[in-house]
Structure 1
Amino acid sequence: MRDRTKLLLVLALVALPVSGRLLWFHSGWYQPPEIPEIDESQIALPLPEYRPLADQPLETGGLVVIDLSHNNNLEVDDLTPLWDRLTARAVTIETLDDSSDSLETQLRGAIALLVIAPTSNYTAEERDLIADFVEDGGRLLLAADPTRPVPPEQEDEEEPLDLESIFFPSSAVPAINSLANAFGLVYFDDYLYNLVDNAGNYRNVKFTVLSDEHSLTQDLETIVFFAAHSLQTDGLSLVNADENTLSSLRSGETGLTAAALAANGRVLALGDVTALTPSFHTIADNDRFLSNIADWLAAASREWDLKDFPHLFRGPVDLVQVSEGSLDPRLIARSGTLQELFQQARLTLSLRAAADPDHDTLFVGTFDNVDLVQDYLATAGVAIVLAEADEEEEEPQDTIEIEGLGTLGLEGTTLYVVDRSADRVVVVALAEDGEAAIQALERLTSVDFSGCVHGEGVTVCSTDEVQEGLGLEADRDEPGQPPGEAVTPPRVAARSEAEAAFEAQTPWLQELAPETYDLTSQAGETYTYTIEMDRSQEVMWVYGWCTVTQEQLAQNWENISLVFTLDGESVPLDSFVRLEDKSGDLECRTHYALLADWPSGEHELTTEVTFATAINDGLDDFPAGTHIFEYRVHVEESSA
C-alpha cells in the first residue's frame, strides 16, 4: 500500500468518530436572543447614601493662608471640601507656594494659617513668626498622617529613581513636629488601628469619645480617621480613641488622642489629613466636623498693630496731611504707591484735605501742627511739650511725654499713635519736619520698625539712641519673671557665662541631689531630684543625649523635643548653649544653662523630654513617649 493511501486511511479513521459525535449531539446553530431596548428615562436610580450638609455659615470674611512651601505631600485639590466651606464664609484664601515667598508678609493680613502634610522642617525664624501670629489672635491648623511621608526625590531626570526612598520612604513626622513642638504639641510616628470596631479596615478608626468642651465637636456623634497619628498636647484633647483602638508604636496605651487644641485654643492639630479630602469627608460626621473647623478658622480675631500695616485698617482709608498750609507735593507723589499697597490688602486709600468721620484715617505731618490731632495723642497718653526760650537757654529742648514710658526729645524722633477709641482706626505719624514726615510714611510702607520702641497704642522711633529718661528697660518684664506674687526665680545667665562655667566644671543640678536613677526605660517616667542649698550658688542645668555614631545622633535628635520650665515659666531653648562633643566613644549633644543668684525659698525646675518615635542610640531601644526630670530646690533663708 502506497504512503498516500495509508495517510488517507488514518485521516478517515480520525474523522469518523468526530463526525459521528457531531451528528449525534448537534441540535442546531446558536441563535442569540433579541436584546430589548430600554427606556433610560424610566429607570429609578438609587439615591446615594451621602447627603450634603445643610451648611448655614456666617459670612465673617478674612484671609486664610495655606502654606505649601515646605515640600507638602499634598495637592491643592485635596483641600477642596475645606476650601469650599471657607469661601462660603466669605473668606479669601491664598497659598504660599515657594519658600522664597515672604511668610511674614503673607501673615500680616491673615486670620488663620493652614499647615498640612509638610515634609521639610520649619526654621527657628519661621516658628517665631508663626508664634507671634498666634499670640496676636491668629489661628493655626496643623494636620499630618502616616500616608503622607517624605516623597522620593530625583535630582536629575537622567538618573535612576532611588528605589529605597520609594519603597521605604522617610517619615514626615519630624517636619510637622518642627512647628508643633513650639506650641506644646507632639505628633507620634505611629498609626492608630482598631481590630474590633472599624469602618471597613482596621486602620479606618471610628471615634466616638469627643470632647463636649468646644464648638469644634458640636453636633458630632462619630467621625472616622484613616490611618491617623496619635498626638500629645498640653491643651485640650478633642478626639480620643476608645479602649479597642491601639497605636502601632505606643504599646499598651489606650485613650489615645487624634485631635487636640493648644495655645489657649488657637492651634488645632489633627492626626489625619485624609478625613478632610474628597470623598472621605462624607463618611460619618466628618462633613459636620469640616464645617466646624471652617467656623473655627473664620472666627479668629486678630489684634493688628503697626507691624501689620496696612492691614490694621478695617474700611476705606483717608490719607490726610497734618498741616494748615498747602498740600506737600511729596505726599502727592507717594500716594500712588500707597494706593497700590492698600489695594493688595483689599483696602482703598484716598488723599483728602480733611478726614471723613466714617472712614479710617492715616494722618501724616509734623510736631508743629500737633493741635490738629491733639485728641488722638491725649487718648494715647502722649503730650508734646514745646519749650519756650529764656535768657539762659538759647535752644530750648522740645519733648514728648508718654504715659508709662517717659520723656524724650523731639529732635530725630518719629511718633506713631494708633487710636481705636471710636468705631474706626486712626493712625497718626508725626516727625520733626516735612522730610522726616515723608520718611515716617516710608517706614510704614516698608514695615521697618527696627530701632523703634512699642507701647500700648504708641510707637517711638529715634535716629539717635533712646534717651535715658525714657525708662523703657525698667518697664519691660524680665525673661522668666512670673507675674504677681510668684516666687522670683534664679537668674538664667548669659550664654558666655554658661560656657565659662561649663568649662570650669560647675556642678550640675543632679550632682547636688542624693537621688540616682536607672534611665534605661524612660517613657511616662518622672525622675525627681531634691536639692538643698545653704546659700545661693552657681549650678548648671543640663540635658544631653549620646549615641554610638554621628548619624544616629542626628536621627535621634530629629525626634527629640525639649521643654524647660523654671518656677512655672517656660525658658526658651535658645537660652541654653548647645554643645556637640564626644564622651568617651559616644557622640553627644548637650543643652546647658547656668543658673545663678538664687533667691531663698522653694524652686521647681522641669526638663520635659519627648521622643516622638521609638529611638535607638546604638546600644538600647527607647520607646516613644514623654519623660520628665523634676528638680526641687530649697535655698536657705539666710542665702545671699
Structure 2
Amino acid sequence: MSKSNWLPLIIGGAVLIVLAFIGGRMLYFGSGTGTYTPPERELLPANIEAAAVPPKLEAADNPEVSRGAVVVDYSHENALYIEELNVLLSKVVSRGFSYEVVTPEEAEVVSLVDRLSYAKALVLPLPRIDYTPEEITAIEQYVDRGGRVLIIGDPTRTIVVESLNSIAGSFGIIYANDYLYSLESNDNNYRNVVYTNFNDSVITDGIGDNDKVIFYASGSVSAPGHEIIMGDDTVFSSTSESSGAKASAALTTNDQVLALGDLTFFTQPHDMTESNGILINNIANFLTSGNRTFELRDFPYFLNTEVNIVFDDTKVFNSQFEDAVKLKEYLEATERTVEFTDEIGDSRDIIYISRFDKADAVQDYLDEANIVLLEPEDVEEEVAEESGSALTLSTVSSLEGEEGDEEKFVQGRIQIEGVGELEQGGATLFYLHQEEDQNVLIILSNDAETNADAFGLLFDNKINECVVNATIAVCQTVDPEQRLAPSVRSNRIDKILVVSDNDGRARESGQTSLVQYTEVLSAAYSVEDWVTSTDGSPELAELQEYDAVIWTTGDYWDDSISEADMETLQQYITAGGNLVLSGSSIAFDWDHTDFMPNILHADYLTVGEQTDIEVSMSEHPLAKDFEPGAVFTFTESLSEENSDIDVVNYTSDARVIFRRGPDSEYDGAPTVIAYEDDRSKIAYFAFPLYRLQSGPRAVLIDNAIDWFTRSPLDLPAEIDYQPFEIDDSGGGSGDEAPPEDGGEGEEAPPEDGGEGDEGDTGDEGGEGEDSPPEDGDEGDGGDNGDEGSDDGSDDGGEGGEEGESGP
C-alpha cells in the first residue's frame, strides 16, 4: 500500500483519540452545565485606621517680622546636605532674617568666630570635627551676650558624638551614642518614636497633652532638669534596657541653647506629620526672637537697616564733612539706608557726632552711663579738694604747671564710673546706648583731627584696641607731640588678679606667695588667681578686666617671667594700670633690658642673702602704719636651696619705701620700690613676699591696694636722687643717714664716725635722704656694727665681713 493511502488513516486515528479523551473527561467531571460554588464566608470590616499613615498637617504660621542674621555652621565636616534644613531656613527668611552657611572655604575668608559679631542665632548641625578652644570660648561669650544656639544630632548619620559634645557640653548638654526606640509608641517603625510628654517652653508652645511629635530615629539628650520633649515608659535607649523618660530635646542656659536629637523631622514630608509643623515654627521663632546684645567692638552690626547721622552743630558738620561722607558710604556698603540730620529722633538708629563742649543733646545718655565730662576748671577744683588733705607731696593730676602745659597736656577729663578719669586732649569718646528698638552711638572729640582719626578706627575695625568696657571706648591716636593714649588705670579697686608665675626654674620646695596674697586680699576684694603652669600666659585684655594685677614669682628664677609675659606687662603699664611685682630673681632675669627701668624702675646689682627689711620712707602710703626705721625679720625660706635674693638699685623717678635691713647682706639696698604717675602705679617687692612675717605682710599688701586708689604723687626731684652703691667690702652706701646711737630715726648722722654700737656707722651704711653722714670714715663696710668692737670687726653683719674696720 502506498504512503498516500496511509495518511487518511493516521489523521482519522488521531481525531478519534482526541474525541475519546474529551468524552471521558466529560463523563468524569460532568457535561459542564454546572459550576463550582464556594461556601459563603462572613467578611470582616477593614481596619482602615491601623493602616493609615499620620495625617499631614499644615501648621499655621504667623511670624513676627524682625531683622537679623542666622549663621549655619557647615565648616566642621557636617553630616548632612544643607538642603535638609530648607524648611527651617525658609521659615527663618519669612521672619525677616537672612541666613549664612559657613562652608570651609568661606570660613577661611571670614571665620565662624568673626561672624558671631553680628549673628543673632547660630545653628550647629551634626559636626564631625571637634570645635576648637577658641571657637568654644567665642560661642560661650556669644551666648553670654544673649545669642541663641541650635545644636542638632541624628544617630542615623555618620556622626561623631564627641564632636557634638565638644560644644554641647559647654552648656550642660550631653549627647549619648545611641538611638531611641519604642515597640508601642511608634509610627510604623520602632525607631520612629511618637512623643507625647512635653515640658513648658518656648519650643513646645502650642503643643498640648493630646498632641504628638514624631522623631525619626532620634538620639537621647541628657540635660538634667532642662528636658522639654520626652518619651513615655515604652521608649528605650539602644544602649540601655532601662525604661524611663528618655529625652530627645533639651533647652538650657537661660533658654538660649536648644539641643535636638533628630534631623529628619525637619525634612519633607515629615515636617507636616502630627505637630511637627508647630514645633518647627517654634524653633524658627526661637532663632529669630532673641534679645542678643551687641558690644561697641561689633560696629556696625549693632545698627539696624535705617540710620541717621546727626550733626546738631554746623561748624562741627563743616569740619567733619568729608569724614561724614565716608562714614555714610561705609554704612551704605553694608546695606543700610543712611541720612544726615540735625536732631535725634526715635524712629531710626542714631550716630551722633559732636565735641566734648557741645554735648548737651546727649547729656541724658551720658548721665545714664555715668560718664562725666569735666572741663579744665572742674578738674582744677577737684584736684584742689584732693590735695587739701594730702601729704606735702603734690599730685600730677593738677593742671598747674609750666606755661602752656594746660593746652599741651589736658583740655579736660572724661570721668567714667568704675574706670577713673581719662584725658580729653587728643581723645575721642565712643559710647553705645542700646534700647529695644533703637541704638544710639555717640562720638565726641575735642577737635576735627582727633575725630577724623577716630573714624579711621571705625573703618579699619580697630576700635577694640581702645575699648574701656562693652559699650565705651576712649581712643587717642598719636599726635605730632607723640602723646600716649589716655591711661585706663582704675582708681577704684574691686577685682584683683593674682598671677602665680611658676614657669621659671624652681628652687627645691619653692613658693610663689600666691597663698599669702589671696589670704590677705580675699577678705575685702574679689580675688582670682592665675597659675601660669596650668592656665598659660594671660593676655593683655584679660589683665585689663581687673582693677589691679599682682604678679608674683616667689622663689622661681631663670626666666621667672617669660619674654611673652614681660611684653604683656609692658603693654599693660603703657595702657595704664595698677601692678605689684614680687620675687627673688626678677631683676637677675631681666638685667640690661628695658623692663628694668620702665617697669621695675630698678637696676640689678648682684645677689645676696636677705633676712630682714627696714622702713625707709614712712610718710609714703605704702608704709602707712609702720614706724619710721622699723625692722622686720624674715621667716626661714621654704626653699631648701641657697636662696640668694636680688640686690637692686632704684631709678631717679621712683621712691624707696623699704630697704634691706641691718642683718641682711648689702644692707640699705632698696627692696620695696614704688613708682607712680598719672598713667600707672607699680610696686616692686624685690624678695619673696611669703618670707615677710604675717603681720607686716598683711599691712604691706593692704597698703599697696589702698595706694592704688589715691591720686598719684609728683615724680621725685632729680636733685634728690642718691643711688645705693656697693663698696668693696660687700656693704653699701645709701642716700639716707643712719640712725644715731642705734635708734630708728632717719634724720641725724652719727657724729665723728662713732663706733657703731647698735647703729650704722660710716659712709657705707646710711640710708637717709635728708643729710649725708658726717665724717663717716669710721664705718665698718656698711655693717650695722651690732654690738661690735671699736674696730667694728665683731659681728659686723653678713654684708660687711670683708671690710672689718674703717681708717
TM-score range, shorter chain: 0.5 to 0.7
Relative to structure 1, the CA distance from residue 421 to residue 52 in structure 2 (aligned partners, 3 Å threshold; closer, same or farther) is closer
Equivalent-residue separation in structure 2 for 1:422 and 1:271 (angstroms): 33
1:385 alignment partner in structure 2: 374
2:236 alignment partner in structure 1: 246
1:288 alignment partner in structure 2: 278
**Aligned counterpart for 1:298 among listed residues 259, 271, 288:** 288
Equivalent-residue separation in structure 2 for 1:369 and 1:427 (angstroms): 16
Q: What per-residue deviation string (whole Å, max 9, x for no partner) do you get for residues 189-208 of structure 1? A: 11112234322112111222
1:66 alignment partner in structure 2: 72
**Aligned counterpart for 1:394 among listed residues 364, 380, 404:** 404
Q: What per-residue deviation string (whole Å, max 9, x for no partner) do you get for residues 405-432 of structure 1? A: 2112224533111234797432112335
Give me the TM-score of the superposition, normalised by structure 1.
0.62
State the shift of 1:187 in Å.
1.0
Equivalent-residue separation in structure 2 for 1:571 and 1:228 (angstroms): 43
Q: Give secondary structure in 1 for the equivalent of 2:441.
A: strand
Answer yes or no: is the 8 Å Cα contact 1:416–1:459 preserved in 2: yes
Q: What per-residue deviation string (whole Å, max 9, x for no partner) do you get for residues 63-89 of structure 1? A: 222222222222232122222332333
Q: Give secondary structure in 2 for the equivalent of 1:349.
A: strand
Relative to structure 1, the CA distance from residue 333 to residue 67 in structure 2 (aligned partners, 3 Å threshold; closer, same or farther) is same
Relative to structure 1, the CA distance from residue 575 to residue 462 in structure 2 (aligned partners, 3 Å threshold; closer, same or farther) is farther
Q: Give secondary structure in 2 for the equivalent of 1:429.
A: strand
2:340 alignment partner in structure 1: 351
- What letter matches 1:308 in structure 2? D
Structure 1 residues without counterparts, runs of 5 or longer: 26-45, 150-170, 480-490, 508-535, 539-568, 579-595, 598-637
Relative to structure 1, the CA distance from residue 219 to residue 401 in structure 2 (aligned partners, 3 Å threshold; closer, same or farther) is same
Task: Tell me the number of residue pairs that the alignment of Structure 1 and Structure 2 aligns.
Answer: 462
1:208 alignment partner in structure 2: 196
1:334 alignment partner in structure 2: 326
Q: Give secondary structure in 2 for the equivalent of 1:440.
A: helix
Equivalent-residue separation in structure 2 for 1:386 and 1:208 (angstroms): 67
State the shift of 1:259 in Å.
0.5
Matches within 5 A, 1:67-106: 67-97=73-103, 98-100=106-108, 101-106=110-115
The reply on whether 1:237 has 2:256 as its aligned counterpart is no
State the shift of 1:133 in Å.
1.9
Relative to structure 1, the CA distance from residue 449 to residue 189 in structure 2 (aligned partners, 3 Å threshold; closer, same or farther) is farther
Mean CA deviation greater in 450-459 or 278-287: 450-459
State the shift of 1:93 in Å.
2.7
Matches within 5 A, 1:73-222: 73-97=79-103, 98-100=106-108, 101-149=110-158, 171-212=159-200, 214=202, 216-220=204-208, 221-222=211-212
Answer yes or no: is the 8 Å Cα contact 1:187–1:232 preserved in 2: yes
1:445 alignment partner in structure 2: 459
Answer yes or no: is the 8 Å Cα contact 1:451–1:462 preserved in 2: no
- Aligned identity (percent) is 29
Structure possessing the higher radius of gyration over alpha carbons: 2
- What letter matches 1:88 in structure 2? S
Give me the TM-score of the superposition, normalised by structure 2.
0.50
- What letter matches 2:458 in structure 1? L
Mean CA deviation greater in 461-470 or 321-330: 461-470
Structure with a larger share of its residues in strand = 1
Relative to structure 1, the CA distance from residue 390 to residue 452 in structure 2 (aligned partners, 3 Å threshold; closer, same or farther) is closer
Answer yes or no: is the 8 Å Cα contact 1:401–1:407 preserved in 2: yes
2:430 alignment partner in structure 1: 416
Q: Give secondary structure in 1 for the equivalent of 2:373.
A: strand
2:522 alignment partner in structure 1: none
- What letter matches 1:123 in structure 2? T
- What letter matches 2:89 in structure 1? W
Q: Give secondary structure in 1 for the equivalent of 2:462.
A: coil
Equivalent-residue separation in structure 2 for 1:368 and 1:279 (angstroms): 64
Relative to structure 1, the CA distance from residue 315 to residue 351 in structure 2 (aligned partners, 3 Å threshold; closer, same or farther) is same
Answer yes or no: is the 8 Å Cα contact 1:204–1:225 preserved in 2: yes
State the shift of 1:272 in Å.
0.7
Relative to structure 1, the CA distance from residue 571 to residue 537 in structure 2 (aligned partners, 3 Å threshold; closer, same or farther) is closer
State the shift of 1:336 in Å.
5.2
Matches within 5 A, 1:459-474: 459-463=473-477, 470-471=489-490, 474=493
Answer yes or no: is the 8 Å Cα contact 1:114–1:142 preserved in 2: yes
Q: Give secondary structure in 1 for the equivalent of 2:279.
A: helix
- What letter matches 1:320 in structure 2? V
Equivalent-residue separation in structure 2 for 1:506 and 1:188 (angstroms): 45
State the shift of 1:248 in Å.
2.0
Equivalent-residue separation in structure 2 for 1:94 and 1:62 (angstroms): 11
Q: Give secondary structure in 2 for the equivalent of 1:199.
A: coil
Q: Greater relative contact order (Cα 8 A, min sep 6): structure 1 or 2? A: 1
Relative to structure 1, the CA distance from residue 424 to residue 228 in structure 2 (aligned partners, 3 Å threshold; closer, same or farther) is closer
**Aligned counterpart for 2:307 among listed residues 314, 317, 329:** 317
Answer yes or no: is the 8 Å Cα contact 2:297–2:470 preserved in 1: no
State the shift of 1:331 in Å.
1.1
Q: Give secondary structure in 1 for the equivalent of 2:163.
A: helix
2:247 alignment partner in structure 1: 257
Q: What per-residue deviation string (whole Å, max 9, x for no partner) do you get for residues 149-194 of structure 1? A: 1xxxxxxxxxxxxxxxxxxxxx421222221112121111111122
2:656 alignment partner in structure 1: none
Answer yes or no: is the 8 Å Cα contact 1:321–1:327 preserved in 2: no
